[in-house]
Chains A and B, each alone.
Chain A
């Protein structure tokens, strides 16, 4: 029996107003679930609607249609405006500079959500200092950090502060919107490890948004591939990355360069085989949103909107030609981390 999902989103649509009283659909009929303790990765190009989904779940953007349930309860999409926030859902943003108030000390920043929560619940705030110190320790910052200002910290340290602020109220779900994208490789590794550790210790779920497939593959249990506001493919992280079904997922994977000149040359050839003369994107409607870039497109793709159909264990893909496509040729190359990469020196 499957466990009750922590977060369940059904038929989510979000429209943004654009010029001349028209509306632009940034997210179109998206379904997703996140189980307790699970990480759902969301990948897609810039403008595919990743952040919009995050905002809808956080309750900071108006929702056009659809329901968002948390622990079985339907959430009021305007709860933040109505001042009934759910502290069980927290967020870590991409930009470590603008996400912290430069005029507040780190201790104040971390304590603020906890104090707000305690006040709302009529609890005692005497213990806050100890909890802040404990949280600082957990995210690997020195205790004296509490009395300093954000400007005195590096990007990676600021991201640790943002993580401490999110976790101090013991949330059940944390939305990470490109939480490691602005960081250097070695700092990114530290933060990813930190997120994994905190998840293991506190049993939280993540909705992990990133444009970097290797990062998403590393942290996620399941992955959702988004294109122009619609779900193209879902499935376990391993199956989506190892044997992508949807032509868009394949194009995305083939475009990400790998750390190996030989394998990268093969990937480049694969990518060249997917390439077609670019056409102007057709307006969204009753068609496949990827049709103008898809090498496998047929007439039907322009006339009928593909629906998600199950692929295997718990995967699904929205493509009319699912099942007819040749298998991805990349399997010729063994995809194992290199020996250098696995052995540390002892």
Chain B
């Protein structure tokens, strides 16, 4: 039997489109709102077919009767059936909303897109016009339109759409402006797509969420305005059924019969609410969309954290971390650090090395008490200068931070508030940590800037952050960090964002500051060259665990963990020119996928069956050397024989 070839799956082009609609429908609020609007629109559209009576037919025998089997929603003062009037009136109301929204989109979307994408003269003119339109009084224009085109709701609604479009236009222009900077838009231009194609395919989809949100909110407002106008009988003249007109009728007899107000009032309120809610739902859904799909969660293993080489914190060290585990909060905690342990002696520089996702920054932040809000320490000890700090509250930590432990980060500019001068930024820190006032502060600021080898510190103190280079900004950040004469400086990738020449100067600076002040440094880095340059000891992390600890002098020649060795080999620097780089196959497992056995096993060339059976203990190899590998003897033995 022959099988037909499967039809090709739908090209992906509109997958994103259907995706948004589907996700709106999948959320309960979205489903209810959409269902309500669909039923309402259908009912009104089909009013001539389904309405029980002619909306104008007067049943004088049943004037102002309440809801009954014959008249489901009752009748008005002229005995007209309210349900029928509601359905027929909805036609003009909803049609008016549709007219206004379509006008809004026709005007705002193309102008916004083109203004943002083309820029230049078109943009300037469009923005100027938008400003003018925004400043005109809407009601007066509408009244003027209605006095010219008497009782023509359509012209009023089109005018309202035009007047409302400037807001949406600005939103779309902003998105398009941002999209123009995206590299994928440049890439699309390079492919030879026309401007229009680029705009429609790559810029418009980005704005789709914003457009739907704005349009549905606008629909809500329009319905309000529309009923207002019909309430004032500025729309279709009576006796035509309109929602606003029904409210007006009911209002005139409110003292005798309050019920008449209920059917039109509730319908209008619910419809306005539904439009508004639709906007909300779309906003929530599009915020979630295009974010990474949640990775499949495995069942958590219940393995107990294995104990690090020496379970007790060292008391003779400046910082001693033992068995430190960090996990996310919530019903299904996800462990991010697993029994991390290392020591830093006074005046020592320890490198914390590993690839992204290995837990370097998390470790550094746990030490200084700055874990992200959804994470906490689940077990283990952090002992600073003989006293445990892992349970300190934020207030107690604040006494330590900036004074005894300080931190600098990868993005120096982020640490500097752009609205203050360098001098006052540093002065603020000096006042906080030294408790001094007046002239002394300025002297200390200049002294600190001089300590970080800034030429002409007086002039630099008067500048704003955006007026200095990245290297200079990192020097300022270091000046702020050392203001409290810390014993431990945590430097999280301090030179990653800098040029090699500037990096070399910053590393020189850290080295000399350390020697002058006997300051210890925990240096987070992924660059082995930086390790070789400044560190005395290395702690290598992989998938939330420390896999090796070694003196710098030994790790390069005799790595005691297959991961360390593989990482060193994967650098082009350690590869002969013309040869392939010995890349590590695969990738670092995410916390959801940490295996029960050795976390490096799937990528390790020494792996053997025992490696995947259970957690791998840390082994003491020699003085100051630890390795989390079952086959470390083979690794080092083979090395020795060669």
Which A residues have a C-beta under 8 Å from some C-beta of B? 45-46, 58-60, 80, 83-85, 87, 90-91, 93, 95, 98-105, 107-109, 112-113, 116-117, 120, 129, 146-147, 149, 151-152, 154-156, 165, 169, 184-190, 192-193, 196, 211, 213-215, 217-219, 237-238, 251-252, 254-261, 264, 268, 271, 278, 337-345
B583 within 8 A of A: yes
Does A186 lie within 8 Å of B499, measured CB to CB?
A: no
Which single residue of chain A is at the shortest CB-CB distance from B189?
A80
Which single residue of chain A is at the shortest CB-CB distance from B194?
A83
Does A338 lie within 8 Å of B574, measured CB to CB?
A: yes
Question: With A340-B558, A341-B574, A345-B635 in contact, do A85 and B192 touch (Cβ < 8 Å)?
Answer: yes
Q: Which of A102, A149, A238, A261 has the most chain B CB atoms inside 10 A of its CB?
A: A261
Does B587 lie within 8 Å of A187, measured CB to CB?
A: yes
Contacts of B533 in A (CB 8 A): 257, 264, 268
* Secondary structure class of chain A's binding surface, majority of residues: helix
Complex Cα–Cα for A196 and B579 (A): 10
Contacts of B258 in A (CB 8 A): none
A167, chain B: closest CB distance, angstroms: 13
B16 within 8 A of A: yes
Question: With A165-B187, A218-B572 in contact, do A104 and B16 touch (Cβ < 8 Å)?
Answer: yes
4 additional A-B pairs beyond A83-B194, A156-B587, A186-B567, beta carbons within 8 Å, are A91-B187, A104-B16, A259-B568, A338-B556
Q: Which residues of chain B (164-218) have a CB below 8 Å from chain A? A: 182-184, 186-195, 201-202, 205-206
Complex Cα–Cα for A213 and B642 (A): 30
Q: Which residues of chain B (500-540) have a CB below 8 Å from chain A? A: 500-501, 503-504, 507-508, 526-530, 532-533
Q: Which of A90, A147, A259, A345 has the most chain B CB atoms inside 10 A of its CB?
A: A259
Does A103 lie within 8 Å of B526, measured CB to CB?
A: no
Q: Which of A87, A258, A337 has the most chain B CB atoms inside 10 A of its CB?
A: A337
Does B577 lie within 8 Å of A238, measured CB to CB?
A: yes
Question: With A193-B583, A345-B638 in contact, do A252 and B500 touch (Cβ < 8 Å)?
Answer: yes
Which range holds the interface residue count of chain B?
Answer: 35 or more
Q: Which residues of chain B (614-642) have a CB below 8 Å from chain A? A: 634-635, 638-639, 642
Q: Which of B11, B503, B573 has the most chain A CB atoms inside 10 A of its CB?
A: B573
B592 within 8 A of A: no
B566, chain A: closest CB distance, angstroms: 7
Does A214 lie within 8 Å of B572, measured CB to CB?
A: yes
Q: Which of A184, A188, A254, A342 has the most chain B CB atoms inside 10 A of its CB?
A: A184
B605 within 8 A of A: yes
Contacts of A259 in B (CB 8 A): 528-529, 532, 556, 568, 571, 573-574
Does A196 lie within 8 Å of B580, measured CB to CB?
A: yes
B9 within 8 A of A: yes
Q: List 19 A-B contacts (CB under 8 A).
A: A58-B190, A60-B190, A85-B190, A87-B191, A93-B183, A100-B184, A120-B192, A152-B293, A184-B526, A186-B588, A187-B355, A188-B570, A192-B572, A218-B577, A255-B501, A255-B504, A257-B504, A259-B528, A337-B573
User: Which of the residues A102, A117, A238 comes within 8 Å of B192, measured between beta carbons?
Assistant: A117
B284, chain A: closest CB distance, angstroms: 17
Contacts of A345 in B (CB 8 A): 605-606, 634-635, 638
Question: With A189-B570, A340-B565, A345-B605 in contact, do A151 and B293 touch (Cβ < 8 Å)?
Answer: yes
A45, chain B: closest CB distance, angstroms: 4
Contacts of A251 in B (CB 8 A): 501
Does A101 lie within 8 Å of B12, measured CB to CB?
A: no
Which B residues have a C-beta under 8 Å from some C-beta of A? 8-9, 11-13, 15-16, 182-184, 186-195, 201-202, 205-206, 290-293, 355-356, 455, 470, 499-501, 503-504, 507-508, 526-530, 532-533, 552-553, 556-559, 565-577, 580-584, 587-588, 605-606, 634-635, 638-639, 642
Contacts of B189 in A (CB 8 A): 60, 80, 85
Which single residue of chain A is at the shortest CB-CB distance from B638?
A345
Contacts of A193 in B (CB 8 A): 580-581, 583
Does A99 lie within 8 Å of B15, measured CB to CB?
A: no
User: Which of the residues B182, B455, B552 comes within 8 Å of A98, measured between beta carbons?
Assistant: B182
Q: Which of B455, B557, B570, B642 has the most chain A CB atoms inside 10 A of its CB?
A: B570
A78, chain B: closest CB distance, angstroms: 12
B337, chain A: closest CB distance, angstroms: 19
Complex Cα–Cα for A259 and B568 (A): 8
Contacts of B642 in A (CB 8 A): 339, 343
Does A99 lie within 8 Å of B501, measured CB to CB?
A: no
Contacts of A109 in B (CB 8 A): 184
Which single residue of chain A is at the shortest CB-CB distance from B20?
A103
Contacts of A258 in B (CB 8 A): 529, 532, 573
Question: With A85-B190, A151-B293 in contact, do A271 and B504 touch (Cβ < 8 Å)?
Answer: yes
Complex Cα–Cα for A185 and B353 (A): 11
Question: With A146-B12, A255-B501, A337-B575 in contact, do A95 and B183 touch (Cβ < 8 Å)?
Answer: yes
B556, chain A: closest CB distance, angstroms: 6
Contacts of A152 in B (CB 8 A): 292-293
Does B568 lie within 8 Å of A340, measured CB to CB?
A: yes
User: Which of the residues A91, A189, A254, A271 comes within 8 Å of B581, measured between beta carbons?
Assistant: A189
Does A218 lie within 8 Å of B575, measured CB to CB?
A: yes
Complex Cα–Cα for A152 and B292 (A): 5
Complex Cα–Cα for A108 and B371 (A): 39
Complex Cα–Cα for A152 and B182 (A): 19
Contacts of B193 in A (CB 8 A): 112, 116
Does A252 lie within 8 Å of B501, measured CB to CB?
A: yes
Does A338 lie within 8 Å of B571, measured CB to CB?
A: no
Does B581 lie within 8 Å of A192, measured CB to CB?
A: yes
Contacts of B293 in A (CB 8 A): 149, 151-152
Which single residue of chain A is at the shortest CB-CB distance from B192?
A85
Contacts of B182 in A (CB 8 A): 98-99, 101
User: Which of the residues A46, A189, A214, A218 comes within 8 Å of B583, measured between beta carbons?
Assistant: A189
Which single residue of chain B is at the shortest CB-CB distance from A150?
B290
Question: With A189-B583, A259-B556, A341-B574 in contact, do A99 and B184 touch (Cβ < 8 Å)?
Answer: yes
Complex Cα–Cα for A237 and B293 (A): 43
Contacts of B530 in A (CB 8 A): 257
Question: With A116-B192, A156-B587 in contact, do A102 and B12 touch (Cβ < 8 Å)?
Answer: no
Complex Cα–Cα for A189 and B634 (A): 26
Contacts of B186 in A (CB 8 A): 60, 93
User: Which of the residues A129, A156, A252, A260 comes within 8 Å of B8, measured between beta carbons?
Assistant: A129
User: Which of the residues A169, A188, A340 comes within 8 Å of B639, measured between beta carbons?
Assistant: A340
A135, chain B: closest CB distance, angstroms: 15
Contacts of B606 in A (CB 8 A): 345
Which single residue of chain A is at the shortest CB-CB distance from B470?
A46
